[in-house]
Amino acid sequence: MKKFIAAFIDKLGFVLISKRKLRTYQTAKLEETYPILQDKTDFLRAKANKGLREKLIQEKKTKWLEIGCGGTFEENFVYVDLFPNTLVNKKGAYHRLDIVNATEEEFIKLGKFDLIRMQHVFEHFSPEDGLTVLNNCANLLNPNGYLLISTPDLKKYIGFYLTDQIRNNYDWALNRIKKESPNSFYFSVFTHSVKHERHEWCYDAEGLMYQLERTKKFKEIKEITLIDTLANIPFTHNRPNEDVCVLAQLA
């Protein structure tokens, strides 16, 4: 009966795969068995994978800080951003804080964390302020705590530009430019973003790791790709088609 249902679903253009198979099968084997998964396997595996989130829970490291909330709130996280507390209305889970210029008293009040995460936030700091942010993060981490950073990936966007894919799925660029704008305008929106949320710098994995190394406060600095066992969508990669993700541990 299961085979009949699977065959019927396959004819409809769908495929049924267990999370266990996604996590354990090699990408090439899955794509050979299920051609419909061509170029999608790593994405699906990262969705099914328990990743860093489960590792931290198993280790009972569940005090997490998110810098830049963007209106999304998850279990175990405390959030900081520049929005007024009255606007966010998440008492106890949200603190208005300027992570670049916060005082020592404000940091002490915030406490220590097992994980600090920045998803598509770090590129909004200048490289100079970015170093300050990384040093402040180090001071907010518990011993052996983790810092997770994801930003738009410069290498991916260069690839999109050179292969004429820069317009695909990036309608948000139309907040600043007209649809008929040349590809260079779409790429420029990636580099500079929209006026009220400007990008101050562009990063790839090498650039993020370079900044972390400059602080001399982190170890085990590495890129987390979608095929990494620690990867999970959306915990590590909230925009997997465009971001780069780097993980570091407090030295």
Instruction: Name the H helices within the chain.
Output: 2-11, 19-24, 27-33, 41-48, 51-58, 85-88, 104-110, 127-140, 154-162, 183-192, 205-215
Cα–Cα distance for residue pair 250/218, rounded to 1 Å: 5
List per-residue pLDDT tens for the chain, 251 residues long. Answer: 444 444 443 444 444 455 555 454 454 454 455 443 445 677 777 888 889 999 999 999 999 999 997 666 788 899 999 888 776 766 668 889 999 999 999 999 999 999 999 999 999 999 999 999 999 999 999 999 999 999 999 999 999 999 999 998 788 899 999 999 999 999 999 999 988 889 999 999 999 999 999 999 999 999 999 999 999 999 999 999 999 999 999 99
Domains of the chain plus CATH, in order, are 1-48 (no CATH), 61-250 (3.40.50.150)
For residue 127, cis peptide bond before it (omega within 30 degrees of 0): no
Are 52 and 232 contacting, i.e. CB atoms less than 8 angstroms apart?
Answer: yes
